[in-house]
Structure 1
Amino acid sequence: MASLVSTRAGRLAAAAVGTGAAGLFYATVIERNAFALRHVTMPVLEPGSTPLRVLHISDLHMMPNQYLKQAWVSELASLEPDLVVNTGDNLAHPGAVPAVIQALDGLLTHPGLFVFGSNDYFGPTPKNPFKYFDSEHERKHGEPLPWRDLRAAFIERGWLDATHRTHEIEVAGTRIVAAGVDDPHLDRDRYDTVAGRPNPLAQLRLGLTHSPEPRVLDRFADDGYDLVMAGHTHGGQLCLPFVGALVTNCELDRSRVKGPSRWGAHMRLHVSAGLGTSPYAPARFCCRPEATLLTLTPVSHGGGDDAGIESLPQLAEDRV
């Protein structure tokens, strides 16, 4: 009898180890590289405006040898977006700037706005994963990264740095006021530098931040912005079926960890789940790496702006 129990226990242990190994292989090899394009429709423009196609990319966490990711990102240029928004964390290695610029080369020919995140300024470091459950944990920075070189390359190609700046631009016939802050995750945000109500004649009032901290979102909402775009959360990165994200790595609630949502009475929020991971945590589970093509449409006063979400096998199309 003891021998039978021991045999069963051994089989269960072997099955558990096998399942764990299969899950680890899937998360680190398959899903981490299963890049997806999400399509989202958001009614945020002034009535009568022409729809605007905005490509949101974030959290590349690029390493020089990540050729599959670089090739996939380079294909995004075929979407021909009206505007590209990059919400930071482009780098994961001091030698990755050329790889980022090469991957984004086709997109740099389109109008673009950007802000940086912590992993543009500092390299990643090994971290106890349980620290992500404590938003107040002490943060340790890795080696400085060449963010100035990346910024110079973006600006040279025509993208606008929205860090503590307000820009008024016209894209595809749409007048946009865009403002952003430096990364709140590092407490570098200085919202007062862009505070105040944006131009009421604009057809889109757009806010940018890397980390979607509520204190920053509240300020944008109070000033009358229509849409804020952010990244940082990785969509939770390791999620559970029927549960979703376990953490957001910021003060944002888990229900808004990725995709579109409302913030307050009038403002919309879009959080990108991002395209990369830290090299010290190279895994995703139930949270594919993604870029998002948003179709911004005029606000309707007919009450049809809150349709549901339709999920398809290769893409998710959200309408909020």
Structure 2
Amino acid sequence: MTSRSTKVALTALAAVGATGVSTAVWGIGIERYLFTVRTRDVHVLPPGSQPLRVLHISDAHMAPWQHRKQEWIASLAGLKPDLVINTGDNLGHPRGLEGIRGALSAFRGVPGLYVHGSNDLVAPSPRNPLRYFLGPSSHTPAAAPLDTHALDTFLQDELGWRGLNNSTATFRIGDLRINAFGVDDAHRQWDDIPSLAPEIGKLKKRTDLTLGVTHAPYRRVLDAFVDFGANAILAGHTHGGQVRIPGSSKALVANCDIPLDQARGLSSWSHGGTAAPLNVSAGIGHSIYAPVRFGCRPEASLLTLLPRA
């Protein structure tokens, strides 16, 4: 005859199992398709300036069959952004550019800036998800190369966007004079801050807005961007942790050295007595080898830049 304690244990075990199944069904089958636009106001423009609507997209990790994701990204053109900033990891499959074309062609003619993530150069590979709790992931030497040249040709020649991989740009939107600089993927140590510094020194001194753009928000990059005079910094890479405890203000992992409570959303980054707003996108996609989102919906950010008080 089964004892009372055994029955209780079996009931508890069944409940845990049911919870696990429900969590997996939600994270794999539902939440990863609950695309969200996060809107925030950021007061960084000179007094009297007109608002600037900045659409921040990141980490699409696109595969050609992901049509819902492609259609949702394309629909963001309806937000009428003045500027699009793409913080990398566009590709998630050797044929990912097919989906990126369908997703981003709607933004042709809208000014844009972008930097690379590693998955704009090499394809993703299977990983043990528990490894992320031990620190930032290492790269896989055998990862297949992607057609980065074709991606850059599409973004630059067809969309008219400017690449900021260890480089700078100066341009105007309306009456605003804008300086921008960025680095290649710091997670792979492709950032080159020493060579970027003299290029920043050549930027036009009379400017209304200075933007820093990076894929991976490593502290060394954020510190340098504040020192370089960024009025706002945009980053991706973290996926917001991708799996979070619902209601928690901290990610479980960030896959870089940023504080876990700054791995998603708008915060402030300080260095040397100066601070700048920092927006870290939780990203739109996921690796095809980790098709799950839990407590961390896929997102894009619509930042309305407004005059300083």
TM-score (norm 1): 0.90
Aligned with 1:199: secondary structure? coil
Question: Which residue of structure 2 aligns with residue 181 of structure 1?
Answer: 183
Of residues 245, 251, 254, the one that matches 1:248 is 254
C-alpha RMSD of the superposition: 1.4
1:136 positional shift? 5.1
Inter-CA distance 15–119: structure 2 relative to 1 (3 Å threshold): same
1:153 aligns with 2:154: yes
Amino acid at match of 2:219: P
CA contact (8 A) 2:165 2:184 kept: yes
Aligned with 1:116: secondary structure? coil
1:273 aligns with 2:282: yes
Question: Which residue of structure 1 aligns with residue 23 of structure 2?
Answer: 23
Q: CA–CA distance in 2 between the matches of 1:172 and 1:259?
A: 27
Amino acid at match of 1:225: A
CA contact (8 A) 2:136 2:255 kept: no
Question: Which residue of structure 1 aligns with residue 58 of structure 2?
Answer: 58
CA contact (8 A) 2:170 2:177 kept: yes
* Alpha-carbon displacement from aligned partner over 1:147-201 (angstroms, at most 9, x marks no partner): 1111111111211111122111001321110111100000000012321455331
Amino acid at match of 2:193: Y
Runs (5+) with no aligned partner, structure 1: 301-320
Runs (5+) with no aligned partner, structure 2: none
Amino acid at match of 2:224: R
Q: Report the more deviating stretch, 229-238 or 11-20.
A: 11-20
Aligned with 1:105: secondary structure? helix
Q: CA–CA distance in 1 between the matches of 2:12 and 2:124?
A: 37
Q: Report the more deviating stretch, 206-215 or 135-144.
A: 135-144
Question: Which residue of structure 2 aligns with residue 164 of structure 1?
Answer: 166
Question: Which residue of structure 2 aligns with residue 285 of structure 1?
Answer: 294
TM-score (norm 2): 0.93
Amino acid at match of 2:150: D
CA contact (8 A) 2:53 2:302 kept: yes
How do residues 29-48 of structure 1 correspond to structure 2 at under 5 angstroms?
29-48=29-48
Q: CA–CA distance in 2 between the matches of 1:277 and 1:203?
A: 35
Q: CA–CA distance in 2 between the matches of 1:134 and 1:216?
A: 22
Q: CA–CA distance in 1 between the matches of 2:170 and 2:136?
A: 36
Q: Report the more deviating stretch, 39-48 or 202-211.
A: 39-48
CA contact (8 A) 1:235 1:258 kept: yes
Question: Which residue of structure 2 aligns with residue 194 of structure 1?
Answer: 196
Of residues 210, 216, 219, the one that matches 1:214 is 219
Q: CA–CA distance in 1 between the matches of 2:95 and 2:224?
A: 36
Give aligned pairs, total: 300
